[in-house]
Structure 1
Amino acid sequence: MSNVLAIAGVTRILKDMLNDALVFGNVDQVMGTDFAVTAQPPDRIVSDNPDTQTPHLNLFLHRVTPNAALRNADLPTRSGDGALQMRPTLALDLHYILTAVAAEELHAEVLLGYAMQLFHEMPVVPRESIRTSLSAAELAGLGSGLPDFGTGPLSPAELADQIEMLKITPVALSMDDMSKMWTALQASYRTTVAYDVSVVLIERALPVRPTLPVLTRGGLRDPETGRDPGVAAEPHLATSVPSLLSVAAQDQHPVMRLGGRVVLTGTGLDTGDAQVRFREAGTDVSLLLVPEAPARPDRLVVQLPGPAALPGGSSLAGTPQDPASWRVGAYEIEVILTDSEARTAATNRLPLALAPAISATAVAGGLARR
């Protein structure tokens, strides 16, 4: 993360980029005179004698605003007792105006053409360019005006290590905004182009509460080595988490019926001893049934108890094998898997309704249905 020198560092980088573009473009030979690239207020770049004005390209930081997208991204930074948990990050957008002045006709326009072409071709500043421009040797050799923090606790080159890249965006200023700006600068108007640079992230190296250490990974430790099993990795595209994809009655009816079978399809359904849980919708009642063997990783079949009532005194009374334990209506169905280390995993739940059993009985006067 960049430090408090980031704002000055960005101005230095843009200034170096402009100077390099003019040098590599042989602008001094094109115009027949030397040029200068500065980062000063516009009222300080105009010569007292216009006839001896050196061709001048000036970059001026006229405004700094908080970045709207990231200004509160790090909140909250402190715990309830006031302890610092995260370093506060200041996210800024920098607003520049680029001005060209020259004594000769059209020389100012030539400088602006080179500068605008550079910023158009390089809308994102490469990290290597930032490191090169802000290296300690480079700053010492060119007299950048920045303090020599290359070997101290602060270095402007840390700007290259922030998460966000520096992006240069042209901005169209209205005539009203332009006139107000030059009036506030108390300088004669010159042709001006505006650019925004975002985003600059400033963070101070404050001590924060360290995170808790990782004690174990995975499940139970190996009894022989004492090591934890670590993170389970499976080299395939399917999910390693047991999941249900569909639940349907085997006889293709839209609902299940007592005495019928329910087919469950999904993934990872053979990763342990399976039980199928039927939860009554809207209640805490759940019924567990063991699926039929053999189990497949993508398919389970479970048999529902028959519709006939159990004889009196049956040991299955009140269990999921008792038809009286099943209520007509909606159910949520999931699979519970228990592995060899007694760890359990549950799939997602899918809905399926239980239909009432319909039987015919003979009564006086004909057949009746109930």
Structure 2
Amino acid sequence: MFGKGGGTLIGGYTVIADVGSSLLKLLREQLSPDPVPRPDLIGMASPVDKGDFVLSLYLCSIRENGEARRNEMQAQGGILRYPPLAVDLHYILTAHSTADLHTRTLDEHRVLGKVMQVLYDNSVLRSPYLEGSLAENNEELRITAENFNTEQLTQLWQFGDNPYKLSLAYRVGPVLLESNRVKPGPRVLERKITLRDKGGEGS
């Protein structure tokens, strides 16, 4: 179930996958055929396990967002649902070229430049790029570039002995993950109705 929250998404357990699918839809449409020849060359994968991908999108961490935390119970019919969990999704985007050594780096820089342009122009992502449960509601995704230095990016690069490869880091969120915990809502014990007698007006 989803609900409006000032641009914040509230969803069930599929919301994390739906966010990834929405980002893929945007990038596949905007980056192909130039500079990426085909949409299927953009996919979700670790940058060191990317197969034939020209651009890999990797969810490297999910962190709780304390500032977006909600404490109030959610009234739904006759029950009260516990507050959702607010999280930010952190992605690493890495370009991969199979060209020869003379043009490989420039090809990857072109892909990354296009990614930055597309995500900047779509920092608030709306329909028709929303997928899954997000597409069924009038929701939006907020995409923010992470201002990481090289050392911070290298710390994210937890892939064994594989050397760091130039990548972009973005945060999507906050996303509110709905709780399954509920309790009965308060019962209506008394109803008070007040009637006004207008018969004496104007006499």
Fold shared by both chains (TM-score > 0.5): yes
1:43 to 23, 42, 48: 48
**Bigger fraction of residues in helix:** 2
Distance 1:175 1:26 in 2: 25
1:60 to 52, 58, 61: 58
Amino acid aligned to 2:83: P
Q: Which residue of 2 aligns with 1:16?
A: 25
CA RMSD of aligned residues (A): 3.1
Query: Superposition pairs for residues 143-292 of structure 1, below 5 Å?
Result: 157-158=133-134, 161=137, 165-182=140-157, 184-186=158-160, 187-204=162-179, 207-210=182-185, 212=187, 215-216=191-192, 219-220=194-195
Change (3 A) 1:99 1:42: same
Q: Which residue of 2 aligns with 1:70?
A: 68
- Using the aligned pairs only, state the percent identity: 24
Scaled by the length of structure 2, the TM-score of the pair is: 0.74
Distance 2:134 2:124 in 1: 17
Change (3 A) 1:25 1:181: same
Report how many residues are paired.
180
Change (3 A) 1:204 1:159: farther
Query: Superposition pairs for residues 133-148 of structure 1, below 5 Å?
Result: 133-134=131-132
Amino acid aligned to 1:94: L
Distance 1:13 1:60 in 2: 14
1:113 deviates by 1.9
Scaled by the length of structure 1, the TM-score of the pair is: 0.43
Change (3 A) 1:76 1:20: closer
Q: Which residue of 2 aligns with 1:119?
A: 119
1:185 deviates by 1.3
Change (3 A) 1:66 1:75: same
Does the CA contact (< 8 Å) of 1:3 and 1:158 recur in 2? no
Does the CA contact (< 8 Å) of 1:61 and 1:97 recur in 2? yes
Unmatched 5+ stretches in structure 1: 48-53, 78-83, 135-156, 225-339, 341-370
Change (3 A) 1:124 1:24: farther
Greater relative CO (CA pairs within 8 A, separation 6+) = 2
Does the CA contact (< 8 Å) of 1:3 and 1:159 recur in 2? no
1:85 deviates by 3.4
Distance 1:162 1:88 in 2: 21
Q: Secondary structure at the match of 2:67?
A: coil
Change (3 A) 1:204 1:55: closer
Q: Secondary structure at the match of 2:129?
A: helix
Does the CA contact (< 8 Å) of 1:21 and 1:118 recur in 2? yes
Q: Which residue of 1 aligns with 2:89?
A: 94
Change (3 A) 1:209 1:102: same
Amino acid aligned to 1:194: A
Does the CA contact (< 8 Å) of 1:55 and 1:103 recur in 2? no
Q: Secondary structure at the match of 1:220?
A: coil
Distance 1:62 1:190 in 2: 15
Q: Secondary structure at the match of 1:85?
A: strand
